């Protein structure tokens, strides 16, 4: 058996899981089970949000280690589910390593792609559903929808102007959302500035990342938990700073 290919396949699967928003325990357990299914005893797997390290010892006693750095993060539940299903299938069926490597590489090829207008509609509809939850009326809902569309446009098409830095991008988008909310309320479309602003900013809140951080800290994965918690706190700080700047700019108009 080609253990180099097997190790590369398992590390690739772990990176796919991590980039789709999987918990640390899920990444480590999936990689470990896959390697054990192919006959490797006691593989060592270590994962943090930005890196996956896997070390195994072949039956001949030769140690092999792979390390992969993960650049981007996100939450893709569909990809996460496909990775889980493929890992279970590989552990049960144990196809040839070359076939398993092909199946893992094909995970990204079957990812569902959404048109920009569909993504933009999602950014608009999410605040529109939050507004009634926070006690807003019809006008507040419409204002939140327009504010969400403005933030969505900034996220989709503003990367060339605001760069790829997550903190700065979140601050700029939250400032734009707060400013648009203030302008719409002043023109009479919404009644409550607080309701509209909070509804718009909800699409920037890192809820999944913060939940995973708390879970990992309680599960004993302190390094990854603190890393995710710090990232969530920085994102929340960017939202607060951006919204304050947007409201201040609107107040001077």
Q: Could you tell me if residue 41 is inside a domain?
A: yes
Beta carbons of 223 and 235 less than 8 angstroms apart? no
132 and 238 together in one domain:
yes
Give the residue among 166, 169, 121, 175 at the shortest CA–CA distance from 148. Answer: 121
Q: What are the pLDDT digits (tens) for 27-54?
A: 899 999 999 988 888 889 998 888 899 9
Are residues 238 and 163 part of one domain?
Answer: yes
Q: Are residues 141 and 234 in the same domain?
A: yes
Which 3 state secondary structure label does DSSP give 63? Answer: strand
Residues 151 and 173 sit within 8 Å (Cβ to Cβ): yes
With 90 as the cut, is the pLDDT of residue 145 above it?
A: yes
- Pairing of β 63-69 and β 44-48: unpaired
Residue 192 in any domain: the answer is yes
Residue 54 near residue 65 (C-beta atoms within 8 A)? yes
Q: Domain limits at 61?
A: 3-105
Instruction: Return mean pLDDT, the chain.
Output: 86
**pLDDT above 90 (res 210):** no
Q: Are residues 64 and 98 in the same domain?
A: yes
166 and 64 together in one domain:
no
- Clarify whether residues 157 and 39 are in a common domain: no
- Summarize pLDDT for 101-122 with one digit per residue, the tens: 888 888 877 667 778 888 889 8
The answer to the question of residue 111 being in a domain is no
Say if 35 falls within a structural domain.
yes
**Do 124 and 233 belong together in one domain?**
yes
Number of domains in the chain: 2
Do the domain assignments include residue 90?
Answer: yes
Residue 95 shares a structural domain with residue 176: no
Indicate whether 126 and 248 sit together in one domain.
yes
User: Does 136 lie in the same domain as 89?
Assistant: no
H-helix or E-strand spanning residue 179: helix 166-186
Length of the chain equals 253
- Whether residue 213 contacts residue 235, with contact meaning beta carbons closer than 8 Å, is answered with no
139 and 161 share one domain:
yes
**Among 105, 132, 151, where does a domain finish?**
105
Rg (CA), the chain: 22
Q: Which residues, 6+ apart, have CB-to-CB distance to 231 below 8 Å?
A: 49, 206, 209, 213
Last residue of a domain, one of 71, 105, 139: 105
Residue 110 maps to a domain: no
Picking from 105, 139, 161, the residue at the C-terminal end of a domain is: 105
- Pair 38, 62 in one domain: yes
The answer to whether the CB of 113 falls within 8 A of the CB of 79 is: no
pTM metric for this prediction: 0.78
54-63, 101-110, 162-171: which has the highest mean pLDDT? 54-63
């Amino acid at each position: 058996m080609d253990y180099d290919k097997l190790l590369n396949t398992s590390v690739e699967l772990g990176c796919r899981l991590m980039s789709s928003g999987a918990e640390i325990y899920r990444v480590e357990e999936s990689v470990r089970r896959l390697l054990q299914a192919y006959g490797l005893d006691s593989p060592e797997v270590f994962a943090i949000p930005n890196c996956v390290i896997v070390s195994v010892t072949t039956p001949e006693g030769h140690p092999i280690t792979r390390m992969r750095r993960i650049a981007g993060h996100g939450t893709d539940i569909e990809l996460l589910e496909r990775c889980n299903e493929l890992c279970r299938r590989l552990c049960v069926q144990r196809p040839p390593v070359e076939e398993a490597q092909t199946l893992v590489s094909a995970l990204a090829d079957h990812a569902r792609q959404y048109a920009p207008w569909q993504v933009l509609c999602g950014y608009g509809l999410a605040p529109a559903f939050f507004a009634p939850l926070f006690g807003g009326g019809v006008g507040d809902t419409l204002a939140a929808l327009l504010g969400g569309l403005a933030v969505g446009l900034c996220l989709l098409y503003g990367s060339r102007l605001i760069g790829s830095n997550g903190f700065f991008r979140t601050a700029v988008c939250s400032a734009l959302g707060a400013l648009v909310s203030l302008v719409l309320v002043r023109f009479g479309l919404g009644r409550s500035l607080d309701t509209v602003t909070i509804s718009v900013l909800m699409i920037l809140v890192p809820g999944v990342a913060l939940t995973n951080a708390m879970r990992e800290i309680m599960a004993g994965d302190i390094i990854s938990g603190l890393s995710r918690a710090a990232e969530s706190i920085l994102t929340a700080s960017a939202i607060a700073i951006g919204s304050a700047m947007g409201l201040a700019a609107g107040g001077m108009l």
